[in-house]
Amino acid sequence: MADRNVIEKIVVMAIAICATPIHELGHFMMSFNGGGGNILNNKIETLINNLKLRNIDAYYFEDIQQVSKELLEVIPQDCTIGIGNSQTLINMNISRMLADKGNIVYDKTLANTEAEITDLKKKSLLADWYLTGTNAISLEGHLVNIDHSGNRVAAMIYGPENVVVVIGTNKIVDTLEDAINRARNIAAPANAKRAGLNPPCRAAGKCMDCRSTERACNNLVVIEGQNNKDRMRVFIINDCLGY
């Protein structure tokens, strides 16, 4: 027979999870006394250690406000900044904050025309700093992304001297296979819908390995590590953020 106290804790935890909004589950799991927080803490510690083995620095933050403050403090005012399209960064309003600080920000989501979008994409490749999200990250330290045009993954790989990848804990999965699966079947269909594209995955809710002219996943990139130890940082936020 299972210990009565253990059963009671499981029941209480299950009830609390059902009553918790999905965007607050990360905070709940970190603070719950029944051990869920320890599991998430251990995963984040494992991820941070594995990223460091790949020459990628990683840091943990409780919320997006802490990350916004950190970015405003560490990025010098005279630096140019490229922005990779990210719902997390949009929700942070970090482009506007940095522009108000005095930085030159290249963010295609603020463009008014297709020509301006193309211009901002190109300028981002040579910016001093590049801020973006990621579609998935494995506990082993692989960053997996699927891009439509490829400008985001291109800047993550080469160009800007400083890259900051901002992620919620919902992007963390166990293995490289899981990360690719998440990018294909969760992030790609959601991003196709956001972009106004209509490939088969949008209706199916999963990758259909299509050849549609509106295919959103033209570039699948796995970042295994960095040659320059000080170039890339991953900021992990204790929240469910983005796709």
pTM value > 0.85? no
Q: What is the pLDDT of residues 95-148, one digit of tens each?
A: 999 999 999 999 999 999 999 999 999 999 999 999 999 999 999 999 999 999
Q: CATH says 55-237 is which class?
A: alpha beta
Label residue 46 by pLDDT band (50, 70, 90). very high
Of residues 68 and 19, more confidence is placed in 68
Residue that wins the pLDDT comparison between 4 and 108? 108
**Residue ranges covered by each domain of the chain:** 55-237
Give residue 9's pLDDT: 45
Task: Over range 62-80, report the average pLDDT.
Answer: 97
Q: Which residue has the higher pLDDT, 119 or 243?
A: 119
Establish how many alpha carbons lie within 13 A of residue 223's alpha carbon, considering only the half-sphere containing its beta carbon: 29
The mean-pLDDT minimum among 43-52, 83-92, 202-211 falls in: 202-211
- The mean pLDDT value of the chain amounts to 87
- pLDDT of 222 reads 98
- Give residue 6's pLDDT band: very low, low, confident or very high (50, 70, 90): very low
